[in-house]
Amino acid sequence: MPIDLELESVLRPPEVSMVPYPPKVVTLANGKQMVVREITREDVPRMLEAVRPITTYERDYYDIVASRVYAELLAWYRWRIVNEFCLIAQIDGMLVGLVNSRMLNAKTGMSLHTLTTDRGLRIGSHMFAAKMEHHIEYLKQEEVLIVAESPIGFRRWMIEYGLEPTNIPHELGGALSFRLSKELYYATKDRLVVGDRPVPKELLDKAMEDIIVVDEKTVAQKICGVKGR
């Protein structure tokens, strides 16, 4: 698509440079090794391919979450959102989850979404924790504003972390935000944030080699279950 560079320079929001998130590896309950790492803007088309089919699954608000993630990642790819980052989870190269978020300003993070496609292994908990870890420990922010779009998210984030309610409308639909302060993060870190660094070379190479996206039918089964008559 042709771009008017002069106009584009006006439309593109200014960005600050963000320190990278160092990859880590997490051992899941089934013994598998899950690599958590940050992706770059260049990886976004692959992520859009992975997220697009999920926009049709109503279960647990996957449709809303996936639609918004799709829009947020696309906006990042095409320079229409400021200071966004995306962390992904891979098992043997296979994409099993992602989180995205952004810096509202130097002090405050704005948590966007957590989306997992392999369920029942607390991958979402690990990924949400990684997102908070990035905001507080690496981006050195004081707080993160969070909302949940599904009851599962509410139970995971608001209850498990004991997040503080606020009167600040969140940019995801205007619901009132909950806050993870730096103090609360460090108070819960031992219980909720895990992972080993550095990631063994073989594991990281496998993850970096390709982001494998499972076919739509498999994703549907993983998200919606396969229980029939």
Partner 1 sequence: MRPVAIVGAGMIPFGRRDDDNLMDMLAYASLNALDDAGLGDKGVQAVYVANMGAGMLNHQMSVASALVDRLSLLPAAAESIENGPASGASAIKNGLLAVASGYYDLVLVVGGEKMRDVSGWRATDFVASMTHPTAEYIYGITLPGMAGMFTRLYMQKYGVTREHLVQVAIKNQEMGALNPYAHVESRITHEGIVDSWHSRVNNPPVADPLHLYDVCPVSDGAAAVILAPLDRVKEFKKTPIVIAGFGQATDTHTLQERDDPTDLKAVTLAAQQAFEMAKMKPSDIHVAELHDAFTILEIAESEHVGFFKKGEGAKAVEQGKTKLGGQIPINVSGGLKARGHPVGATGVAQVVDIVWQLRHELPKERQVQNAVNGLTVNFGGFGNNVLSFILRRGDK
**Greatest Cα pair distance in the chain:** 60
The answer to the question of residue 135 lying near partner 1 (CB under 8 A) is no
* Residues 43-82: x where in contact with partner 1 by CB under 8 A, - otherwise, as a string: ----------------x-----------------------
Which residue in the set 4, 31, 174, 215 belongs to the binding site for partner 1 (CB under 8 A)?
31
180 binds partner 1 (CB under 8 A): no
- Residue among 32 and 78 whose Cβ is closer to partner 1: 32
CB atoms within 10 A of CB 6: 7
Burial class (CB in 10 A: 0-12, 13-18, 19+), 73: buried
Secondary structure of residue 86 in the 3-state scheme: strand
Crossing angle of helices 44-51/62-77, nearest 10°? 160
Q: Please report whether residue 197 would count as binding partner 1 according to CB under 8 A.
A: no
- For Cα atoms 59, 194, 163, give the angle at the middle one, nearest 5 degrees: 60
Confirm or reject binding of residue 125 to partner 1 (CB under 8 A): yes
Choose one: 74-82, 91-99, 163-171, 219-227; the region binding partner 1 (CB under 8 A): 219-227
Q: Which stretch binds partner 1 (CB under 8 A): 81-89, 116-124, 137-145, 197-205?
A: 116-124
Burial 45-61 (b: 16+ CB within 10 A, else e): ebbeebbebbbebeebb
> CB of residue 224 vs partner 1: minimum separation in angstroms?
8
Q: Are 25 and 196 in contact (CB under 8 A)?
A: yes
Closer to partner 1 at the Cβ: 50 or 121?
121
Give yes or no for residue 120 binding partner 1 (CB under 8 A): yes
Omega prior to 200 cis, within 30 of 0: no
Residues that bind partner 1 (CB under 8 A): 26-32, 59, 120-122, 125-126, 129, 151, 155, 190-196, 224-225, 227-229
